[in-house]
Amino acid sequence: MTDMKTEVLEFASGAKNAKGAVVIIDVFRAFSTACYAYDSGATRIIATGDPAKAFELRKIYHHPVLAGERNERKIEGFDFGNSPTEIIRSDLSGKIVILTTTAGTTGLMNASGGGVLLAAGLVNAGATAEYLRALDPKLVTLVAMGYRGTVSAGEDLLCAEIIRSRLMGENKDFSREISGLRHSAGMRFFEPANLDFSPPTDFFLCTMADRFNFVLKAEKRLDGNVDLARIPL
């Protein structure tokens, strides 16, 4: 493990330039939402780059559900926003979820230069690190997608640091830093104007570190979209 190198990049440009084993990180909220969707019974998640493609995919599959956001709000005609709170209130047993978000799924669409491609948030950071340690690649590129894919986001960079630390075999406690997000990057979840689409419960659900012991493994499809598979450890 001592020969493994790690690199942290940001945004879609970082995803395009990522090499080796690549982890696309979106804590608030895309890949947290994906993890909770699998926990709520979803059998498959398909990530896509834009809402129009999501509507096209809905015509192909039997009663899938559409989840995602633009400008943090649920897309018109979609079943769910990009909200773990919405997801945990729903029974997705047997359902295919089609997911599109401003940052997270855009990162998956733009990742092209790596080998294995994973999606992660704090809720499955530990599992992601454990999976990568078993693979033992020479290079891991961690891509923090940022707020709306354009502004550095403390939660994504922290998640990258947590995964990097665990890849190096360190046993550092990041609980203080995670809690501190409440007063920095996570403040928007507590703004009264955002309650309808970005509730405080989303903050707490997204920051429950290592809640899930599975990874989200991305596989590019011939149609340009991405299958996001749940791989239990």
Span 57-110, pLDDT tens digits = 999 999 999 999 999 999 999 999 999 999 999 999 999 999 999 999 999 999
CA dihedral for 193, 196, 197, 201, sign (positive or negative): positive
The whole-angstrom separation of Cα 183 and Cα 186 is 6
User: Which position has the higher pLDDT, 201 or 114?
Assistant: 201
Question: E strands within 11-146?
Answer: 20-25, 44-47, 65-70, 73-74, 96-100, 114-120, 139-144
Cα 230 versus chain centre, distance: 12
Answer whether residue 180 shows pLDDT above 60. yes
Contact assessment for residue 44 and residue 97, using Cβ atoms and an 8 Å cutoff: yes
Mean predicted confidence (pLDDT) in 216-223:
96
Q: What is the pTM of this model?
A: 0.97
Answer whether residue 112 shows pLDDT above 90. no
Mean predicted confidence (pLDDT) in 113-125:
93
Tell me what percent of the residues of the chain surpass a pLDDT of 90. Answer: 97
Answer whether residue 114 shows pLDDT above 80. no
At the fourth CATH level, the homologous superfamily of domain 5-232 is: ComB-like (3.90.1560.10)
- Write out pLDDT tens, residues 15-49: 999 999 999 999 999 999 999 999 999 999 999 99
The whole-angstrom separation of Cα 153 and Cα 151 is 6
Give the pLDDT band (50/70/90) at residue 1: very low
**Rounded alpha-carbon distances, angstroms, from residue 38 to 72, 102, 147, 153, 198:** 21, 20, 24, 25, 20
Answer whether residue 153 shows pLDDT above 90. yes
The whole-angstrom separation of Cα 206 and Cα 202 is 6
Q: Taking the CA of residue 7 as centre, how many other CA atoms within 13 Å lie in the half-sphere pointing to its CB?
A: 16
Q: Taking the CA of residue 214 as centre, how many other CA atoms within 13 Å lie in the half-sphere pointing to its CB?
A: 16
Beta-ladder partners of 22? 117, 141
Q: Give the pLDDT of residue 2.
A: 57
Q: Give the pLDDT of residue 154.
A: 98
- CB-CB neighbours of 125 under 10 Å: 27
**Strand ranges of the sheet holding 73-74, from the earlier edge strand across to the other edge:** 5-10, 139-144, 20-25, 114-120, 214-220, 226-232, 44-47, 96-100, 65-70, 73-74
- CB-CB neighbours of 169 under 10 Å: 11
